[in-house]
Amino acid sequence: MTTSKTTYQNTHAFAKAQDTQDPLAHYRDRFYLPVDTDDNPLIYMCGNSLGCQPKSVATYIEQELNDWANLGVEGHFEAEHPWMPYHEFLANQMADIVGALPSEVVVMNTLTTNLHLMMVSFYRPTPTRHKIIIESDAFPSDRYAVESQIKHHGHDPAKSLILWKPREGEDLCRYEDLEALVKEHGESIALFLIGNTNYYSGQCYPIDKITQLGHANGSKVGFDLAHGVGNIMPDLHKNGPDFAVWCSYKYLNSGPGSLGGCFVHERHHHDKELNRFAGWWGHNKDTRFNMRHGFDPIPSAEGWQLSNPPILSMAAVRASLDIFAEAGMKNIRAKSIQLTGYLEYLLDDLDNDRISVITPRDPEQRGCQLSIQVQHADRSLHDQLTKAGVISDWREPDVIRLAPAPLYTSYEDVYELVLRLKQIL
């Protein structure tokens, strides 16, 4: 990338120049970008909720529809991209995005389903070790899943759920406070389950340090990367958590409600004693169709699969992953740091007491999202932004989330967004 925060300029000419120099700028043309009722382009800053559609998705899905029409069941073996191993086509590219071995990654199910499946294996409470640590402002679905797992095992969430909270008057969680919780609860902690990055504040927690802290305590460690995958580099294999889960419809642009992903570290792959909910697609491929064999799990993340893959949804995932593979995750991350830094610079330059950025200033502690806290929790500012042609989202009680996704957001988008915000303020 060509700039740093110290050289940003608050001019339209600067933004246009950055787009001209941006080696990833042409990927913007590979996506459909929303327009208003008069066909005017909108400024899309909501990839943290739903990514824009790659233009190639229709072609990828059409291929599978044609193969289904022409081949019927033989498409499992004779399709252009045979359906039997279809999920395997996604493994290498997804592994590159999350920093894993291909054998450690599988695309399957949806996020919360995968989270439950992982807790079946890695939350094994005992009378003395039964507590789970999560961040206090975890995405609600994570908290619901955790509480229901605690109850399922006969424990009380009021006693078994530990919340890692920001300090009074602060918005971000401090690592030293997590250390203090571990010191306080010690060997009663069975599992660390942290959402990374946090959906509300945009804070990205240190995966390596948290994993080391948890494992040193004898606890299992997992991460929900729903708001991180595709815009941070979690290096899962190197950092070594036991598992991670994510969705693919946010920064991975695979369509509303699309499939999730799952990481299981290779050290667990050959442990046949590890408890799991089993399904036939996780069974040894050599004997999968011999229906009278007992369950023999595939010694990889694939061994946690339940059912054969939904091909039409996976075609959309593959369309997006092909773009990621072409652009390169390191390049995407580098642009993300610069683009979000530019947004931060322009927001700071507004110098308006009505809004403040609560997301960490350090690029290593955030993805591409910036969370703007609005004084007096007034949603009207968000509504005015929407009327001004900016698609962002509001999160109660007082935050507007803005996410410049590097594959399709331009510097000019960021400049124009802040210009419109300034006019409203």
Domain residue spans of the chain: 5-30+329-424, 62-325
User: Rounded mean pLDDT of the chain?
Assistant: 96
Asked if 150 and 161 count as a contact pair (C-beta separation under 8 A), the reply is yes
Report the pLDDT value the prediction gives residue 292, as an integer from 0 to 100. Answer: 82
> Terminus-to-terminus CA distance in the chain, angstroms?
31
**59: DSSP letter:** H
Q: Can you tell me which residue has the tokens 């252009």?
A: 80
Angle formed by the axes of helices 329-350 and 311-327, nearest 10°: 80
pLDDT tens track for 130-150 = 999 999 999 999 999 999 999
* Mean of pLDDT values over 202-210: 97
CA distance 127 to 61: 50
Residue among 77, 63, 25 nearest 316 (CA): 63
Report the pLDDT value the prediction gives residue 378, as an integer from 0 to 100. Answer: 80
pTM of the model: 0.95
Task: Assign domain 5-30+329-424 to its CATH superfamily.
Answer: Aspartate Aminotransferase, domain 1 (3.90.1150.10)
Q: Is the pLDDT of residue 293 over 90?
A: no
**8 token code pair:** 């940003």
> Position 288: which residue type?
R
CA distance 268 to 364: 29
CA distances for 4 relative to 26, 158, 196, 317, 338, angstroms: 21, 46, 25, 33, 7
Residue among 172, 135, 174, 200 nearest 371 (CA): 200
Report the pLDDT value the prediction gives residue 290, as an integer from 0 to 100. Answer: 86
Q: Is the pLDDT of residue 200 over 80?
A: yes
> Position 187: which residue type?
E
* Mean of pLDDT values over 299-317: 97
CA distance 205 to 210: 8
In this prediction, residue 2 has a pLDDT band, given cuts at 50, 70 and 90, of very low
Report the pLDDT value the prediction gives residue 6, as an integer from 0 to 100. Answer: 53
CATH topology of domain 62-325: Aspartate Aminotransferase; domain 2 (3.40.640)
Residue among 381, 379, 370 nearest 405 (CA): 370
CA distance 193 to 142: 9
**32 token code pair:** 């459909």
